[in-house]
Chain A
Amino acid sequence: AQRVTQPEKLLSVFKGAPVELKCNYSYSGSPELFWYVQYSRQRLQLLLRHISRESIKGFTADLNKGETSFHLKKPFAQEEDSAMYYCALSYQGAQKLVFGQGTRLTINP
């Protein structure tokens, strides 16, 4: 069965420091990986997906099939990055997502 693990429920870093949110997945085929974010009082929204290979709001994520990971990184955290982050997996054509438990990121001033 497909599974997504985010080992940190809470992560706190100082403004300007690098941040890395970890995500590991379990799936034997070719996964499609996503990061969704939920800012305070806002709806869940897509941050980035591995197929796009783009940087959004300074965040990047690389799919490592050998380590079955899709960690989210940003070199210099900003206060507005404080939010709940969910890693999610889909499998080709399944049209549905399996979410990790989420990591609440807090950026301290």
Chain B
Amino acid sequence: DAMVIQNPRYQVTQFGKPVTLSCSQTLNHNVMYWYQQKSSQAPKLLFHYYDKDFNNEADTPDNFQSRRPNTSFCFLDIRSPGLGDAAMYLCATSRGGGGTSYEQYFGPGTRLTVT
């Protein structure tokens, strides 16, 4: 089945220790997104890639970076995680173009714990 895969599903890191979360997709979609979802809150968009074009949200902290080496993979790097960065991180993909917004396909998420 074509899908969005996130690894690992659970990640524990120490305060200040860099961590990378991974997302891959078999849908061949142009657009890949990273969301942060804290407990009982809505998913909040951090940034997205339209092909190789990176689009950062204005309020995304500099501590969060992303890489998209090819169509299938996208990484979320947290350079110096703080306790406030503990959350579920969701990756999503969608088609792009056409002047309309397409359905987003979500991965299962990575739950990040910061100790």
Contact = CB atoms under 8 A, between A and B. Distances in A.
Contact of A101 (B41, B55, B109): B41
B100 A92 contact: yes
A102 B100 contact: no
B82 interface: no
Contact of A43 (B31, B40, B102, B106): B106
Nearest to B45: A96
Contacts of A96: 33, 45, 48, 55, 101
Interface in A72-109: 86, 90-102
Chain A, interface residues (CB within 8 Å), range: 20 to 34
A101 B42 contact: yes
Interface in A25-60: 32, 34, 43-46, 49, 51
A40 to B, nearest CB: 13
Nearest to B102: A95
A99 B33 CA distance: 14
Interface of B: 4, 31, 33, 40-45, 48, 50, 55, 90, 92, 94, 96, 99-109
